[in-house]
């Protein structure tokens, strides 16, 4: 058994209060010292809150200071994923994830698809990531992994690219607000929850990887984030699940050998690149 221990840190955040959010991250890491999981993953924009509006332009420097402080609290060999607003070299802001390892920031990735519909206004405040630089695989002592951010999971390309680059685990950090409260499905799932589960299972099955989804919980302004973080195996089974509508910390072990076993009986190895050439022209 090639075991990897993953912690889903489903937390709330305070809008624009980087110091308070930094403290929450450090408190979680302190609580996990004895368990010492291989990975601790926080939600999208966990350092800043989601509905920042014009505060988006102001928080970059404080985020970098907070990341440095959080890095000091990590354990050797551990990898920590943190959501933040990152200023790029042109002074524009990206919705990003920072990957911390061995007490330093080992890299960042940025969101490619910025939702701008309904309550979402991300294109107004953020610029999208660049696939040439932001499609990255990271290594830990236990496995190779990648990170994608919320809306990126509603499109097929990001996770397929990460899987074909060698990721064994793909973390999907999100700030998904509750929708469909009046139309739960027969499993008593929210409409949006059922949609997320369907998408994550499809990604895990088609790309034969573990998918770890970490969603924000709690209220912010007029929205409420439903939590429900989970891990899906390459065979499409939910192997860990957090509570809904409240903070929760869930730690579980996965067996990476399952990827190899499942891949013997899938069509993942078949990839028709010509279809992408057609899509480019549409």
Whether the Cβ atoms of residue 173 and residue 150 lie closer than 8 Å to each other: yes
* Secondary structure (H, E, C), 211-238: EEEEECEEEECCEEEEECCEEECCCCCE
Helices (H), 56-165: 60-71, 122-125, 131-134, 157-164
Angstrom CA distances, 185 to 175, 224, 267, stand at 21, 19, 31
Contact between 192 and 226 under an 8 Å Cβ cutoff? The reply is: yes
pLDDT at 1: 79
- pLDDT given at position 66: 98
DSSP symbol at 243 = P
CA distances in angstroms from 24 to 29, 37, 45, listed in the order given: 9, 18, 13
How far lies 50's CA from each of 24, 26, 64, 119, 249, in Å?
Answer: 16, 19, 17, 11, 20
Q: How far apart are CA 86 and CA 246, in angstroms?
A: 27
Domains present along the chain, CATH in parentheses: 3-281 (3.60.110.10)
DSSP category for residue 242: P
Local structure of residue 117 (DSSP, 8 states)? S
Total Cβ atoms within 10 A of residue 64: 16
98: β partners: 82, 108
- The DSSP call for residue 55 is G
**Given this model, what pLDDT does residue 169 score?**
98
DSSP string over 9-23: EE----TT-HHHHHH
Say what the pLDDT of residue 221 is.
87
Question: Listing from the earlier edge strand, what are the strands of the sheet with 104-110?
Answer: 104-110, 93-101, 79-87, 39-41, 3-10, 248-255
Tens of pLDDT along the chain (282 residues) come to 799 999 999 999 999 999 999 999 999 999 999 999 999 999 999 999 999 999 999 999 999 999 999 999 999 999 999 999 999 999 999 999 999 999 999 999 999 999 999 889 999 999 999 999 999 999 999 999 999 999 999 999 999 999 999 999 999 999 999 976 666 566 778 999 999 999 999 999 999 999 999 999 999 988 999 999 999 999 999 999 999 999 999 999 999 999 999 999 998 988 898 998 998 899
For residue 2, what pLDDT is reported?
Answer: 92
Enzyme catalytic residues: 44, 111, 150
Classify 207 as helix, strand or coil.
Answer: helix
């Amino acid at each position: 058994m090639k075991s990897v221990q993953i912690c889903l840190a489903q937390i709330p955040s305070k809008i624009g209060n980087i110091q308070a959010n930094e403290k929450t991250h450090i408190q979680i890491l302190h609580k996990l010292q004895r368990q010492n999981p291989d990975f601790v993953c926080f939600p999208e924009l966990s350092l800043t809150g989601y509905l920042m509006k014009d505060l988006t332009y102001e928080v970059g420097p404080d985020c970098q200071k907070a990341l440095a402080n959080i890095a000091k609290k990590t354990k050797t060999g551990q990898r920590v994923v943190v959501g933040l607003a990152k200023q790029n070299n042109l002074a524009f802001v990206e919705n990003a994830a920072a990957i911390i390892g061995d007490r330093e920031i080992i890299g960042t990735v940025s969101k490619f698809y910025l939702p701008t519909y309904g309550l979402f206004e991300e294109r107004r405040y953020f610029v999208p990531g660049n696939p040439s630089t932001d499609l990255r695989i990271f290594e830990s002592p236990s496995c190779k992994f990648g990170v994608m951010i919320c809306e990126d999971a509603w499109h097929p390309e990001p996770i397929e690219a990460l899987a074909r680059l060698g990721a064994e685990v793909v973390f999907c950090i999100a700030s998904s607000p509750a929708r469909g409260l009046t139309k739960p499905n027969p499993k008593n799932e929210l409409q949006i929850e059922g949609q997320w589960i369907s998408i994550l299972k499809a990604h895990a099955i088609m790309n034969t990887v573990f998918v770890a989804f970490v969603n924000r919980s709690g209220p912010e302004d007029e929205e409420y984030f439903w939590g429900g973080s989970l891990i899906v195996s390459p065979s499409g089974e939910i192997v860990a699940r957090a509570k809904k509508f409240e903070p929760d910390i869930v730690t579980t072990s996965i067996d990476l050998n399952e990827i190899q076993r499942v891949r013997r009986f899938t069509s993942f190895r078949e990839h028709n690149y010509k279809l992408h050439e057609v899509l480019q022209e549409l």
